[in-house]
Amino acid sequence: MIKKILVSQPQPSSEKSPYYDIAKDFGVEIVFRPFIKVEGLTAKEFRQQKVNILEHSAVIFTSRHAIDNYFTIAKEMRIAIPQTMKYFCVTEQIALYIQKYVQYRKRKIFYGTSGKMPDLVQLMLKHKEENFLLPMSDVHNNEVPDMLTSKGLKHTECIMYRTVSNDFTQEEIDSFDYDMMIFFSPAGIHSLSKNFPNFKQGKIKIAAFGPTTAKEVKDHKLKLAIEAPSKEHLSMTSALREYLEKHKK
C-alpha cells in the first residue's frame, strides 16, 4: 500500500498543485525533495568554449534554466543583448518566463503550440536566415542539435549550466522510508545511485517521466511501476492518480 511518496522536484509554489489534491484524495504523504540541482557556469568557464553570444541573432530556449543562465552570463560578461534578438521557446510557459529579463514583444518571441521540439523547428524554418544559439546543460542528448542540423538551420551549441547531484544528509538517508519515488530525469536516477550505493528496491514503486528517464530506470535494473507521458496520461499527476485509484485497496 502506498502511504508516502517522494517527488524528486522542488515543492510547488502554488497551493493549487495537483499533487496536493492527490495527497488529500488518497490520504498519502507527498514529500518534495530534488535529487539534482542546476548550477550555472561562470563567465570564465563559458569563455573557454570560445562562443560569441553577439554573433547570433536568435536564441533557442528549451527550459527556464537556459533563460536564467543565458542572461546571467551575458550580465557577468557585460554583454548588452540587442533589442533585435529573437527568442524561440519550446513552450509558451518558457516564452512568458523571458519577461523576467526583457520586455515581452511577441514579434521577437516565438513558441511552438504543441510543446514539442519538431513543432518549434517548423516555426524556426520560417526564419532560416537567423544564426541560432542553443544554450544547453552539460547533461544532454543530441536530439535537438541533430534536428537543427538535419533541417539546415545555422546554429551553435554551448554549455551554460550543469546538472549535479543534490546530496542527501545522513539524517535524510537514515529516515528514507518511501513507498514510491517519482523521477523526471536520468540524472535523478544517477543521484539515487550516488546517495544510496547499496539501494535495494524491494517493494518501493518507481515512476518515471519521459522516455530517457524510464530507460535509465531499466538500465539500473529497477522495476518501473508508472511511466508518463502516455496516450492516456500526458502528465505525471494524471498517471499517478490512476495508479493510486487502481491500487487503493
CA 219, CA 51: separation in Å to the nearest integer? 35
Residue 86, pLDDT above cutoff 80: yes
Reported as a pLDDT band with limits 50, 70 and 90, residue 212 is confident
pLDDT value, residue 4:
97
Distances (CA, A) of 8 to 33, 107, 158, 212: 5, 36, 27, 16
Please choose, from the candidates 27, 87, 93, the residue with its C-alpha nearest in 3D space to the C-alpha of residue 248.
Answer: 27
Reported as a pLDDT band with limits 50, 70 and 90, residue 103 is confident
Residue 243, pLDDT above cutoff 70: yes
% pLDDT > 70, the chain: 99
Q: Is the pTM of this model over 0.95?
A: no
- Looking at per-residue pLDDT, the higher value among 229 and 183 belongs to 183
Residue 107, pLDDT above cutoff 80: no
pLDDT value, residue 224:
96
Q: What 3 state SS string does 59-124 have?
A: EEECCHHHHHHHHHHHHHCCCCCCCCCEEEECCHHHHHHHHHCCCCCCCCEEECCCCCHHHHHHHH
pLDDT value, residue 249:
63
Quote the mean pLDDT of the chain.
92
Reported as a pLDDT band with limits 50, 70 and 90, residue 15 is confident
Residue 223, pLDDT above cutoff 90: yes
pLDDT value, residue 53:
97
Distances (CA, A) of 115 to 39, 94, 100, 181, 223: 25, 10, 21, 26, 29
Beta bridge mates, 36: 165
Q: What are the tens digits of pLDDT across the range 132-145?
A: 999 999 877 788 99
pLDDT, mean of residues 142-163: 94
Helix H or strand E encompassing 246: helix 236-247
pLDDT value, residue 113:
81
